[in-house]
Structure 1
Amino acid sequence: MTLVRQLLDQAARTPDGVALVSGNGTQLTYGELRRQVLAVRHGLLSAGLAEGDGVLFSVRPSPESLVLALGVVAAGGVVVFADPGAGPEMFTARLRLARPRWSAAESVLYAGSRLRIVRAYARRRGLLLPNLAELQIPGEDPMRHIHVGRRLPGVPRGSLSLADLLRGDAPEPSQDTDPDAPAAVIFTSGTTAAPRAVAHSQASLAAALGLFRDRMPLGPGDVVHTDQLMLGLPTLISGARWSMPPLFCSPADFARLMRERGATHTFCVPVHLAEILDAVPELPPSLRYVLLGAAPAPAGILKRATSATSAEVLSVYAMTEILPVAIASAEEKLAHTGSGAEGDLLGTPLPGVGARLADDGELLLSGPNLCRGYLGTEPFEELATGDLARLDDGRIVLTGRKKDMLIRGKFNLYPGLYEPSIAALPGVDEAAIVGVPDHETGDEEVVLAVTGTADPARLRRDLPAVIDHDALPDRVIVLDALPRSGRTRKLDRDRLRDLAARPARHPGTPG
C-alpha cells in the first residue's frame, strides 16, 4: 500500500476529525484534506503532469505545501526539494541533475526572484535567488509552473494556481501509483561539481513512517507539534492531529502553542529544545514524547529535558538516505555516558534495519526504509554512512565521522568518540573538537571548544579522567554558542575551525 493511499484511507475513516492546525490556528479536517489532495492530483493530471515528472518544490512548510506535495505524488510525480537559497551555482547543478519538468513556488518567491529591486534586497541579505520564472533545462520543453498564493508580478504567464486546482471535487483514482517508483528527491551533502540527490520511493518513505509509529505510538486524540514533514505524515496516517507552528516562531511561542493545543508529542533539534527550556521552566504536562533529532543530543540538554518534563525523551539517529535507524531514550544515553563508556549511544537498530561494520569500522546500513539510491548513480542495497561505530550487544555506538578524523603523530583522533563524555562534565553544555593546521610542524593543533560555565583550567584537570591521553586538547576555548548552519542547526565544524584559528575572538558568539 502506498503512502498516499494510507493517508487517503485514514482520512476516509475519520472525515470530520481535525487533521491539521496551521501556524495561524486555521483547522483542516481529514475530509477536506482528502478532497484537496485528490483535487490537486486530478488538476495536475488534466494539465499534463506525466508519471515520473519532477516538480521543483519551493514552498515553505504549510497546509498548502502539504496538500500540493501529496497531490504531486498521488499523480505519479516526484517532489524535488531543491533549496533556491543554496546559491546560484549549487542550485543550477542540482537542477541539471534532477531535470524537473515543473516548478512549484510561492508567488512571492517568483516575484522576488524576478523583480530587480527585490533581488537587490535579497542579495544584501546574503540570499542569491535564481530566476524561477525563466528556468529551463537544456534539451527539454519549457518548464511548467504552479504558484501558491495570489498572482503577483513575476509569476509566469500560464502558471497554474493552487487555489484553482483546489476548487471542486475529484474522482477517486482507479489505481495507485507504483510504490517503488521515485516519489521524493532530497539534496544532501555534495559539491557544485557533484551534487548528491537522495531518491526515496513511496515504499521507502512508508516504511520509515511505520518505524516512527511503532516506536512512538500515535492515534486519534494525539497532537504532534512539529514543522517536520517526516513526523507530520505518520501523525496523519495514524488519525492524530498535526499541530504546525508558524514559520517564524520564537522558542517561547513554540512552548505556548504546545500548551494551548494540548500537544502529546513534539520534535525538536537539540539546540532548539535548549532555547525552549531557556524561555520556559517546564514543558506542558500533556506531553508524552519529546523527540530529538537532526543533530547529536548532548548530555547537558538531555538532563535539562528530563528535569523539565515527565514525557519520555527520545533521541533519533537517522540519515536522509535511511530514516529512522535507531532511537535511544535519554536515560539510556545518560547511563552510557555516566558509565565512562566512550562514544555516543544511538540505540538498537529498529526492526528491519540492518547494521554491520566495515573493516575500517564504518557503519553500513540497510532496510526497507533505505532510499532507492542517488540520482545519476546505480541503486544500492546498503548505505556506507561515513560514520564510525562499534556494536555493543547489538546497540550502535557512534565513535566519530571518517571525514572529521584528526591526525596527531601516529594517533588517529575521532572527535565523536570523546565529545559526549566531555559534554557530561560539570559546567559544560556542549563540546566540540576540531583540528587547526599547524604550519610550523605540519601536524594539527587540537582545539576543544565548549559552551557553558566551565573554567578552562579546571576543565583541563578533569579531562584526563574521561578521555585518552593522546586525545587531550592543545587548547581549550569557551564560546557563548557553537556555530551552526541550516534548518537543522547542525554543528558547522568549518566555521568552528575558522574561529579556533583566531583565538583573539574568544570568548564570543560565532557570527
Structure 2
Amino acid sequence: MPDLLVDVLDAAREHGDAPAVTAKGRTLTYRQLAERVLATAHRLAENGFTPGTRMLFSVRPGPDAIVLALGTVAAGGTVVFVDPGGGPELFARRCALAGPGWAAAESLLYAVSAPGPLRAVARRRGVLLPDYGALPVRHARSGPWLPGVPRGAVSTKRLAAPVAGHLRPPPADPDQEAVVVFTSGTTAEPKAVVHTRGSLGAALRVLATRCALGPDSRVHTDQMMLGLPALVAGAHWTMPPYGFAPAADPAALAAGLHGATHTFLVPADLAVILDSGVALPGSLRQVLLGSAPVLPPLLERARAALPDVEFLAVYGMTEILPVAIATGDEKIAHGGDLLGVPLPGVRARLADDGELLVSGPNLCRGYLGRPPLTEHATGDLARFDGDRLVLIGRKKDMILRGRTNVYPGLYEPAIAGLPGVAEAVLVGVPDEIGDERIVLVLLARPGERPGLADRVRAALPGVIDVSALPDEVVEVPELPRTARNRKVDRVALRAAVGR
C-alpha cells in the first residue's frame, strides 16, 4: 500500500548524492534530505514529541520546511498547516479544533505577533496576528533567535543536525494521520481535511500515471503536490522565492524555469505570462494547470506559444487530488470544460441532481472531528461523455431565472471561445422580486478593439441556448480573484455588477 514517507525515503536511498531540493541557491542531496528527516524525528522524540502529536506549521516553503514536515511525520506526528494571517479569532478556533501539542513558525512571525512595536506596525497595515508565542504548546523556531520567540523554543536547524550512528527509518504506517489542511468553514465552525500517509502516497502515485517524472526531470514549483512526486521519482525539485507571484514578474519566472522540465501554474498566471510575450525556456516538457477552470481559449494560445510543451489540466480538490487530468489538446478538441477520464483507482459517479461524487485510495480520511469519509461530494455538477467527465458548473453558482436553472459552467467555455474574449463569467444578480437577472461579464484579450460587449451580444444566439441568454453584457478591465488560488471571485463580481 502506498505510504508517502516510505516512498520518499526509498527514493533517497536509491538516488543518494543526486540533488533533491534547491531553494535560494542552497541544495540538499537525497542522502542529506533523508539524514535530516530522520535526525529531526529522533530529536523531536528526545524533546518529548510523542506519536499522535499535532504540530501547527507556519514555516515558509523551502528545504528546511520540507525536512521539518517530513521529520514530524516520521516522528509519528501530524503537520497542521495553518495561516495565522486569517485573524486571531479564526486562528483560535482552528487551534481549538486541531488540539496541537507543538507549533513551528518563522522567528520573524514570533517577533511580529508578540505584543510590542512590530505587532503595532503590522496592525496598522491591516495584518491582525495572534500572539503565536503565547500558545500553550512546545515551540520550534525556524531562523535566528529574535525577541518574541518563546523561551525553550527548539531550533529547527539543531533538530536536523547530523546524529552519530545509524538511524532506522520508521516502519510503514499508511493509516497514520499525516497532514491537516484547513479549507472552508466559518469562524465559528472551521473545517479541516485530514490526510494519512497512505492517502498522500496514493495521490502521488496517481499523479505519476500522467506526469512523466524521472531522475532526468527538474521540477520548478512551490506546490508540494508536484514537488513531493518529484522527490519520489528521483527528480530535482527547485523552488521559486517564497511569496513570488508569477504574474507580477514574468521575466523572473522565465529565469527561474531555466533548465526546468516541469512546473505548475494557475490559469490566470499563465494568461499574464502569455500576454507579456516573455519566452519560456525550451527545456519545458509538461506544464500542469489547476486550482481554477482551464478553458480551451487559453490552451489554444499556450499551444501556439509553446508547441512542444504538453499542458495538463488537473482536476481535484484538497479532499482528493488528483481526480482526473486532461491534456490541452483533448480540451481544445472537446470545446467544453473537459475534465478527462478518472485516473486509475479513482471512482466517480453522479448523484441524482448531477453532482459529482468521487472516491479512491487518495481520498482523505475525512474532516477533523467528524466521521470518516467513504466518498466526497465535490459540489461540482458534471456529466459523462463516454468515460470522460465534463464539468457543467458549481451547484452554488446555479442561476435561477423564472423557472429555468442556468448553469454558468455549461456556457462559459463557448462564450470564452468567441473572438476577442479572454474570459467570460455568468453571474446571477437578484432583482427586487427575488428573481435573478443574468449578467455576462467579459474580459477582453489584450489589444482588442472597443465594442466587444456589443459584438458578443450579437453572436450569443448562435453559441448558447436561448434560455441562458444574458439580460446584460458588460466588459470589465479586470476580474476580481481570490488571493489563494486566483479563481474568479464570483461573490465579489456579483456585488460589483449588481450595484
> TM-score if structure 2 supplies the norm length?
0.95
| Aligned partner (choices 148, 152, 155) of residue 154 of structure 1 | 148
Q: Secondary structure at the match of 1:491?
A: coil
- Aligned equivalent of 1:267: 264
The separation in 2 between residues aligned to 1:124 and 1:330, in whole angstroms, is 45
Cα pair 1:74 1:177 within 8 Å, conserved? no
- Aligned equivalent of 1:365: 358
Task: For residues 220-250 of structure 1, give each alpha carbon's deviation from its aligned partner in whole angstroms, at most 9, with x where no partner exists.
Answer: 1110111100100000111100011111432
Cα pair 2:337 2:391 within 8 Å, conserved? yes
Moved more, 312-321 or 276-285: 276-285
Cα pair 2:254 2:279 within 8 Å, conserved? no
The separation in 2 between residues aligned to 1:241 and 1:107, in whole angstroms, is 28
Q: Secondary structure at the match of 1:39?
A: helix
- Aligned equivalent of 2:10: 9
The separation in 1 between residues aligned to 2:40 and 2:376, in whole angstroms, is 35
Amino acid of the structure 2 residue aligned with 1:293: G
Q: In the alignment, is residue 479 of structure 1 matched against residue 472 of structure 2? A: no
Amino acid of the structure 1 residue aligned with 2:253: F
- Aligned equivalent of 1:139: none
Q: In the alignment, is residue 195 of structure 1 matched against residue 194 of structure 2? A: no
1:442 CA drift (Å)? 1.9
Cα pair 2:6 2:172 within 8 Å, conserved? no
Q: How does 1:388-403 map to 2 (within 5 A)?
A: 388-403=381-396
- Aligned equivalent of 1:111: 111
The separation in 2 between residues aligned to 1:485 and 1:125, in whole angstroms, is 20
- Aligned equivalent of 2:406: 413
Moved more, 280-289 or 345-354: 280-289
- Aligned equivalent of 1:21: 22
The separation in 1 between residues aligned to 2:465 and 2:119, in whole angstroms, is 52
Unpaired runs of at least 5, structure 2: none
The separation in 2 between residues aligned to 1:40 and 1:276, in whole angstroms, is 39
Amino acid of the structure 2 residue aligned with 1:416: G
Q: In the alignment, is residue 167 of structure 1 matched against residue 161 of structure 2? A: yes
- Aligned equivalent of 2:78: 78
- Aligned equivalent of 1:127: 127
The separation in 2 between residues aligned to 1:12 and 1:174, in whole angstroms, is 11
Cα pair 2:251 2:278 within 8 Å, conserved? no
Cα pair 1:251 1:276 within 8 Å, conserved? yes
1:255 CA drift (Å)? 1.2
Q: In the alignment, is residue 346 of structure 1 matched against residue 347 of structure 2? A: no
Task: For residues 289-346 of structure 1, give each alpha carbon's deviation from its aligned partner in whole angstroms, at most 9, with x where no partner exists.
Answer: 0110111113332112111211101100011000000000111111111xxxxx5110
The separation in 2 between residues aligned to 1:481 and 1:247, in whole angstroms, is 25
Q: In the alignment, is residue 205 of structure 1 matched against residue 206 of structure 2? A: no
1:174 CA drift (Å)? 5.8
The separation in 2 between residues aligned to 1:334 and 1:122, in whole angstroms, is 46
Change (3 A) 1:112 1:450: same
The separation in 2 between residues aligned to 1:90 and 1:473, in whole angstroms, is 39
Cα pair 2:79 2:180 within 8 Å, conserved? yes
Q: Secondary structure at the match of 2:458?
A: helix
The separation in 2 between residues aligned to 1:151 and 1:284, in whole angstroms, is 40
1:100 CA drift (Å)? 1.1
Amino acid of the structure 1 residue aligned with 2:144: R
Q: How does 1:281-296 map to 2 (within 5 A)?
A: 281-296=278-293
Cα pair 2:142 2:156 within 8 Å, conserved? yes
Task: For residues 388-409 of structure 1, give each alpha carbon's deviation from its aligned partner in whole angstroms, at most 9, with x where no partner exists.
Answer: 1111101111111111111100
- Aligned equivalent of 1:313: 311
Q: How does 1:233-248 map to 2 (within 5 A)?
A: 233-248=228-243
Equivalent pairs, count: 487
Task: For residues 383-431 of structure 1, give each alpha carbon's deviation from its aligned partner in whole angstroms, at most 9, with x where no partner exists.
Answer: 1111111111011111111111111000011111111111111111111
1:118 CA drift (Å)? 2.0
1:175 CA drift (Å)? 3.8
Q: In the alignment, is residue 445 of structure 1 matched against residue 442 of structure 2? A: no
Q: In the alignment, is residue 40 of structure 1 matched against residue 25 of structure 2? A: no
Amino acid of the structure 1 residue aligned with 2:340: G
The separation in 2 between residues aligned to 1:461 and 1:495, in whole angstroms, is 27
Change (3 A) 1:174 1:432: closer
- Aligned equivalent of 1:62: 62
* Aligned-pair identity (%): 56
Cα pair 1:146 1:162 within 8 Å, conserved? yes
1:499 CA drift (Å)? 1.2
The separation in 2 between residues aligned to 1:19 and 1:219, in whole angstroms, is 12
Amino acid of the structure 2 residue aligned with 1:346: L
The separation in 1 between residues aligned to 2:228 and 2:366, in whole angstroms, is 22
The separation in 2 between residues aligned to 1:122 and 1:444, in whole angstroms, is 41
Unpaired runs of at least 5, structure 1: 136-141, 338-342, 503-511
Cα pair 1:281 1:308 within 8 Å, conserved? no
The separation in 1 between residues aligned to 2:361 and 2:106, in whole angstroms, is 34
- Aligned equivalent of 2:367: 374
Q: Secondary structure at the match of 1:267?
A: strand
Q: Secondary structure at the match of 1:126?
A: coil
Q: Secondary structure at the match of 2:226?
A: helix
Cα pair 1:75 1:177 within 8 Å, conserved? no
Change (3 A) 1:174 1:70: closer
Cα pair 1:76 1:177 within 8 Å, conserved? no
> TM-score if structure 1 supplies the norm length?
0.93
Q: Secondary structure at the match of 2:185?
A: coil
